[in-house]
Amino acid sequence: MKIVAIIQVRMGSTRLPGKAMKEIVGKPMLWHIVNRLKHAKLVDEVVIATSNKEGNEPIVKFAADNGIECYAGSEDDILDRFYQAVKKHNPDAILRVTADCPLIDPAVVDKVIWYYQRGFDAVSNTMPRTYPDGLDTEVISYRVWERAWRELKSPWREWVPTYFFEHPEKYRLGNVAYNEDLSYMRWTVDYQEDLDFVTKIYEKLYREGGVFLMADILKLLAEHPELTEINKAQALEGSSKRELRERNLAVNRIFRVFPWAYRLKYRYYDICRIYKFHPIYMLNLITRLGLATRKGQCTECGVCCGKCVYLEKQGDKYVCTVYEDRPPKCNKLFPLCNWELQKNKLADKCGYYW
């Protein structure tokens, strides 16, 4: 069985711009991800899939300089980007890894692939998550991916892996779980603090020509628990978001118990989305106490994001987090705005309307 690993990467991160090319012990983070995937025994090829949007040239140059195959495709159509990147290899399955996982474990990758080979259409180790955040691995049948490429429409063409795992009635799905729940551990890189944490891990464990594994990291953290303090705040934030995603997924599965409810769900969602009374939206609003939730307009560029957004406090400002990778068009922080300002009739100074 031929497995092609695809690293989904771009330079346009809003929280840590250019993170894929940030250096860890003298080499770009992307290099370490490629190197670790090459140590997976069941991976046959490694391909980088980036966007053809301006600004991603360093990724293409990096791939060319290091002899790594790279494909630059659509920014939003992830389904087509992956399909075009691997179709000439004619693989049996696609292994999807994102470029914010520099601690990806080749042993975990092999375990997920091995499980997939038992006859599944798609296998993940995040449904539900038991491994540390940053060891995310998904293996999806190329036949299933190709069929989705022909049939799926927007917005699923951007969130295609989510589509597979949210439709268990269509696909045979599997999940690889660890023997204990370590999902509270944050080993991914979204913020500078995450990069600092990962850099410390590499400084203590990395040796030229080899790779360290999840067990090595766990042993190091047991000996030096102070390392987890580096990105502790980000870990708590990530846990909160993950709980919401899993809760939303559970609600979606309830709808699928009865076929008629499944069909009505989307009609109901289309109606409620307009008026912003969808139960998922309301559930998030209730569970995310302390956040200001409203329709926002950025005072930097005057562009309304056009969505019900979540605002998270960062220092003396709030940042829009409606989608982690799709913030408002100017990618600027929102000014401080909370209910107290509204009560004091100062809301006109913060650039929001209700």
Look at residues 148, 175, 202 and tell me which one is the last residue of a structural domain: 175
- 317: tokens are 């400002």
Residues 8 and 155 in one domain: yes
Residue burial 178-216, b: 16+ Cβ < 10 Å; e: rest:
beeebbebbbbbbbebbbebbbbbbeebbeeeebbbbee
Whether the pLDDT of residue 323 is over 80: the answer is no
Residues 296 and 165 in one domain: no
User: What distance in Å separates the CA atoms of residue 50 and residue 239, rounded to the nearest whole number?
Assistant: 28
Residues 11 and 155 in one domain: yes
Q: How confident is the model at residue 317 (pLDDT cuts 50, 70, 90)?
A: low
For residue 121, is it within any domain?
yes
User: What distance in Å separates the CA atoms of residue 131 and residue 177, rounded to the nearest whole number?
Assistant: 7
For residue 340, is it within any domain?
yes
User: What pLDDT was estimated at residue 300?
Assistant: 39
User: What distance in Å separates the CA atoms of residue 218 and residue 227, rounded to the nearest whole number?
Assistant: 11
User: What pLDDT was estimated at residue 316?
Assistant: 55
For residue 266, is it within any domain?
no
Residues 298 and 150 in one domain: no
- Provide the β-strand partners of residue 72: 50
For residue 253, is it within any domain?
no
pLDDT exceeding 90 applies to what percent of the chain? Answer: 51
* CB of 198 closer than 8 Å to CB of 187: yes
Q: What angle do CA 291, 296, 302 make, to 5 degrees?
A: 145
Look at residues 175, 200, 229 and tell me which one is the last residue of a structural domain: 175
Whether the pLDDT of residue 158 is over 90: the answer is no
- 188: tokens are 């991914």
Residues 297 and 150 in one domain: no
Domain span at residue 309? 292-349
pLDDT exceeding 70 applies to what percent of the chain? Answer: 66
Look at residues 142, 160, 175 and tell me which one is the last residue of a structural domain: 175
- Provide the β-strand partners of residue 297: 304
User: What pLDDT was estimated at residue 249?
Assistant: 52
| Tens digit of each residue's pLDDT (9 = 90 or more) over 212-234 | 999 999 999 999 999 999 988 87
Number of domains into which the chain is organized: 2
Residues 8 and 140 in one domain: yes
Query: What single-letter DSSP state applies at residue 125?
Result: S
| Tens digit of each residue's pLDDT (9 = 90 or more) over 187-216 | 999 999 999 999 999 999 999 989 999 999
> Averaged over 266-284, what is the pLDDT?
45
CA atoms within 13 A on the CB side of 157: 16
Does 152 or 275 have the greater pLDDT score?
152
* CB of 135 closer than 8 Å to CB of 129: no
Whether the pLDDT of residue 257 is over 50: the answer is no
For residue 222, is it within any domain?
no
Whether the pLDDT of residue 86 is over 80: the answer is yes
For residue 158, is it within any domain?
yes
For residue 282, is it within any domain?
no
